């Protein structure tokens, strides 16, 4: 147990020259970070991530290019084949692209965390008395900006090529908000992978293997009805499908449907399961 | 009850797979001292330090820092220990000032106070001019200083320095030594690892010598040297050919076996008692042997290491590879 000697120390002079008193230092320690401390620590880590983003703008490449490129490309290539015309396809496509973009951004979260963790500064983070969740959650808060940019850009591109969402402004805001929530929640899976994998490349590889089936074996780009039965069954349970349907309902009808509810519940479940897993794996890795 | 130990570790063990990196090390560091852990690369110094700093799980044994159990209360330990690693653990993407501000904020210091602490530390470590420059422009020495500054933000009572001067030039090394001595004057306790025998000798009040995961000795630098023996009388004879004769004289006088290098006329004579140096010189004069240079040397820690482990301090490789 802690043996705290009740030492009476004479602290005179300026704070810089006062002597270090071990007994007092021991008495000041706390067994863990309080919630409020953890929050300040997380925000500090978010500040660090934002500083890094500002200094490395090339990190924004994916969130800038993908929305522009994929939206236009998919619309003009598949529009006629799937829905008869580009304008008919847009209401189906745009929510799908949003989901795909969110997943891509998530992937980057895991890869960047892994890269970051290999740096010397993570040794210091681990040696500091900070909540173990802060180094993981901090960058994820900063990433909200990336999700925001990516989704807004997608919607703007869609509007330019002729998409007129039936849900109106509120529907769009709701759809974008849901995309951001979903992206942020799913990012915990990739953060967990980031803490487990051996290298950034392996995170990238594993993430690709997860992302491609999840987005393409969903209703993101084609109506599920057109698929063979066994595939349709998988597509229906794919969580991405639920998010896509929910975003569609918001964008096209401005309706908060049961799908929206399921999507939010699904996101919550992902966070509840994967956030603790990520923190545990991170704490063990030391 | 006043317990004046800063670190009390008993039987620390760390395994990496089949490789036992730390094999039952005991350390007892008293408050207010500089304690040196000396050993070659791969001896387990860094691993021991990382276990004590909660950076690696302890596989066996127990450790307390100021009476706080390291395994059970890692969060408390992290509040008591400042760690400066072998490789500067500062953020390359931030400036020096931002680094210090961030580390202060993470430890619950208010933003304004964090700014002033950062300013003070930058000044103290001679980094004001580089404060707002990216770290990519920092020299190795500047990085080390920033790293050490980062460990001092909350003025922790115990500071771990893992090879604080490895890779630094002699001048920067001297500055680092001065800084370390200052910290102790402030009342901090320092546990440092080093592979430089000279550094341990210069700084440490007590030294533990570690080899292949085990502690082979622990004492003050002077006691360790005496333990190995005696001083050495280093002679150079005017005529290299005379060394054999000289050796006979020494043998008869002291009963000790001198180490000879006839090419240069050099003789290293173990002296059980430094007082007998004069006897040797007189005996050589009487034998008619000319002397061109004389010195009496205490054993270096290098010799200490050799004597304690049976191999030199640079025999290391396979351990390092196993890590």
Q: State the SS3 of chain A.
A: CCCCCCCCCCCCCCHHHCCCCHHHHHHHCCCCCCHHHHHHHHHHHHHHHHHHHHHCHHHHHHHHHHHHHHHHHHHHHHHHHHHCCHHHHHHHHHHHHHHHHHHHHHHHHHHHHHHHHCCCHHHHHHHCCCCCCHHHHHHHHHHHHHHHHHHHHHHHHHHHCCCCCCCHHHHHHHHHHHHHHHHHHHHHHHHHHHHHCCCHHHHHHHHHHHHHHHHHCCCCCCCHHHCCHHHHHHHHHCHHHHHHHHHHHHHHHCCCCHHHHHHHHHHHHHHHHHHHHHHHHHHHCC
Q: Is residue A4 part of a domain?
A: no
Provide the CATH topology of domain B230-298. Answer: Alpha-Beta Plaits (3.30.70)
Number of domains in chain A: 1
> Is position A167 within any domain?
yes
Percent of chain B predicted with pLDDT > 70: 92
Helix axes A239-248, A229-237, angle to 10 degrees: 80
Closest-CA distance, B78 to chain A, in angstroms, reads 5
Record: contact B80-A20, CB cut-off 8 A: no
In a domain, A15, yes or no: no
> Which residues numbered 47-86 in A keep a CB inside 8 Å of some CB on B?
47-48, 51-52, 55-56
Query: Residue A91 pairs with which residues in a beta bridge?
Result: none
Q: What is the dihedral of CA A256, A258, A264, A269, to 10 degrees?
A: 170
d(CA A49, CA B88): 20
Half-sphere exposure of A206 (CA within 13 A, CB side): 18
A vs B: CB pairs below 8 A: 131
Among B135, B133, B134, B116, CA closest to B124: B116
Please compute the mean of the pLDDT values over residues B136-161 and round it to a whole number.
91
* B304 or A216, greater pLDDT: A216
Domain with A68 in it: 32-284
Residues found in chain B: 323
Mean pLDDT score, B73-102: 91
Pairwise CA distance, residues B136 & A218, whole Å: 45
* Distance of alpha carbon B288 from alpha carbon B237, whole angstroms: 11
| Cβ contacts of B56 on chain A, cutoff 8 Å | 286
For the segment B34-45, what is each residue's pLDDT rounded down to a tens digit?
999 998 888 899
Q: Is residue A131 part of a domain?
A: yes
The whole-number pLDDT of residue B27 equals 95
pTM, full prediction: 0.81
Confirm if A192 and A278 have CB atoms less than 8 A apart: yes
Going from N- to C-terminal start, the domains of chain B cover: 5-93+134-226, 230-298
- From the list A153, A180, A205, A48, the residue with the least C-alpha distance to B92 is A48
Both tokens assigned to A194 = 């980031």
Mean pLDDT across chain B: 86
Specify whether the CB–CB gap between B312 and B269 falls below 8 A.
Answer: no
Residues in chain A: 286
Cα first-last separation, chain B: 41
Is A124:A48 a contact under the CB 8 Å cutoff?
A: no
pLDDT grade for A6, boundaries at 50, 70 and 90: very low
Q: For the residues B75-85, what does the mean pLDDT come to? A: 93
Mean pLDDT across B280-297? 87
> Between chains, do A122 and B66 touch, taking CB under 8 Å as contact?
no
ipTM of the complex: 0.83
Q: What is the mean pLDDT of residues B297-313?
A: 68
Lowest mean pLDDT segment, chosen from A254-263, B209-218, B224-233: B224-233
For residue B17, the SS3 value is coil
Under 8 Å CB-to-CB from A221, ≥6 apart: which residues?
A: A74, A78, A82, A92, A93, A96
- Whole-angstrom Cα distance, residue A62 to residue A104? 8
Strand pairing report for B189-194 and B34-38: parallel
Nearest to A124 among B67, B79, B150 (CB): B150
Give the residue-averaged pLDDT of B23-52. 92
Instruction: Output the CA angle B306-B308-B309, nearest 5 degrees.
Output: 70
**Given an 8 Å threshold on Cβ–Cβ distance, is A48 in contact with B103?**
no
Whether residue B53 lies within 8 A of chain A, CB to CB, comes out as yes
B261 SS3 class: strand
Its sign, for the CA torsion A86, A88, A91, A92, is: negative
Q: Using alpha carbons, list the distances in angstroms from residue B314 to A227, B126, B229, B297, B306.
A: 68, 34, 21, 22, 10
- CATH fold label, B5-93+134-226: Rossmann fold (3.40.50)
The SS3 assignment for B44 reads coil
B137 touches chain A (CB under 8 A): no
Give the residue-averaged pLDDT of B150-179: 90
Distance CA B302, CA B314 (A): 10
For residue B72, the tally of other CB atoms under 10 A from its CB is 12
Residue B245 pLDDT grade (very low, low, confident, very high; cuts 50, 70, 90): confident
The answer to whether residues B149 and B138 touch, using CB atoms and an 8 Å cutoff, is no
* Residue A249 is assigned to a structural domain of this protein: yes
pLDDT of residue A13: 35
User: Would you say residue A9 has pLDDT above 70?
Assistant: no
């Amino acid at each position: 147990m802690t043996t705290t000697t009740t030492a009476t120390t004479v602290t005179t002079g300026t704070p810089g020259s006062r002597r270090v008193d071990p007994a007092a230092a021991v008495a000041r320690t706390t067994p863990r970070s309080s919630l409020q401390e953890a929050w300040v620590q997380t925000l500090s880590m978010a500040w660090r991530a934002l500083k890094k983003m500002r200094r490395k703008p090339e990190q924004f490449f994916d969130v800038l290019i993908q929305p522009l490129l994929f939206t236009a490309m998919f619309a003009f290539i598949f529009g006629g084949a799937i829905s008869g015309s580009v304008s008919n396809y847009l209401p189906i496509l745009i929510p799908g692209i949003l989901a795909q973009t969110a997943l891509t951004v998530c992937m980057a979260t895991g890869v960047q965390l892994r890269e970051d963790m290999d740096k010397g500064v993570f040794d210091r983070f681990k040696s500091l008395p900070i909540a173990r969740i802060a180094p993981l959650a901090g960058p994820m808060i900063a990433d909200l900006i990336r999700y925001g940019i990516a989704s807004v850009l997608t919607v703007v591109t869609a509007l330019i090529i002729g998409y007129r969402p039936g849900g109106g402004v509120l529907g769009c805001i709701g759809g974008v908000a849901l995309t951001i929530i979903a992206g942020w929640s799913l990012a915990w899976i990739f953060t967990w992978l980031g803490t487990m994998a051996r290298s950034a490349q392996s995170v990238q590889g594993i993430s690709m293997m997860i992302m491609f089936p999840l987005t393409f074996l969903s209703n993101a780009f084609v109506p599920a009805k057109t698929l063979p039965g066994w595939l349709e069954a998988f597509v229906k349970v794919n969580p991405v499908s639920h998010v896509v349907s929910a975003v569609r309902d918001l964008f096209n009808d401005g309706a908060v449907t049961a799908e929206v509810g399921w999507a939010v519940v699904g996101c919550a479940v992902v966070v509840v399961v994967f956030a603790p897993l990520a923190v545990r794996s991170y704490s063990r890795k030391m | 009850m006043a317990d004046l130990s800063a670190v009390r570790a008993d039987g620390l063990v760390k395994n990496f797979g089949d490789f036992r990196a730390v094999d039952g090390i005991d350390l007892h560091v008293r408050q207010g001292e500089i304690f040196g852990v000396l050993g070659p690369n791969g001896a387990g110094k860094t691993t021991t330090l990382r276990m004590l700093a909660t950076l690696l799980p302890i596989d066996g044994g127990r450790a307390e820092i100021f009476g706080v159990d390291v395994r059970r209360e890692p969060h408390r330990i992290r509040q008591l220990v400042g760690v400066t690693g072998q490789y500067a653990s500062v953020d390359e993407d931030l400036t020096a000032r931002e680094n210090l501000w961030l580390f202060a904020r993470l430890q619950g210091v208010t933003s304004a106070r964090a700014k002033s602490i950062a300013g003070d530390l930058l000044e103290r470590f001679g980094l004001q001019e580089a404060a707002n420059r990216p770290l990519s422009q920092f020299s190795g020495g500047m990085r080390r200083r920033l790293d050490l500054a980062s460990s001092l933000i909350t003025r922790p009572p115990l500071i771990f320095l893992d090879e604080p001067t490895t890779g630094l030039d002699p001048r920067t090394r001297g500055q680092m030594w001065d800084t370390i001595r200052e910290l102790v004057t402030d009342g901090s306790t320092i546990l440092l690892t080093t592979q430089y025998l000279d550094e341990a000798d210069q700084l440490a009040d007590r030294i533990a010598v570690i080899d292949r995961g085990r502690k082979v000795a622990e004492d003050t630098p002077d006691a360790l040297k005496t333990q190995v023996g005696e001083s050495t009388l280093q002679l150079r004879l005017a005529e290299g050919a005379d060394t054999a004769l000289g050796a006979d004289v020494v043998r008869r006088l002291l009963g000790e076996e001198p180490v000879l290098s006839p090419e240069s006329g050099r003789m290293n004579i173990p002296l059980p008692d430094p007082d007998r140096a004069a006897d040797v010189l007189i005996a050589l004069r009487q034998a008619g042997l000319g002397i061109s240079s004389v010195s009496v040397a205490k054993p270096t820690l290098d010799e200490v290491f050799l004597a304690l482990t049976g191999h030199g301090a640079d025999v290391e490789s396979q351990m390092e590879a196993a890590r």
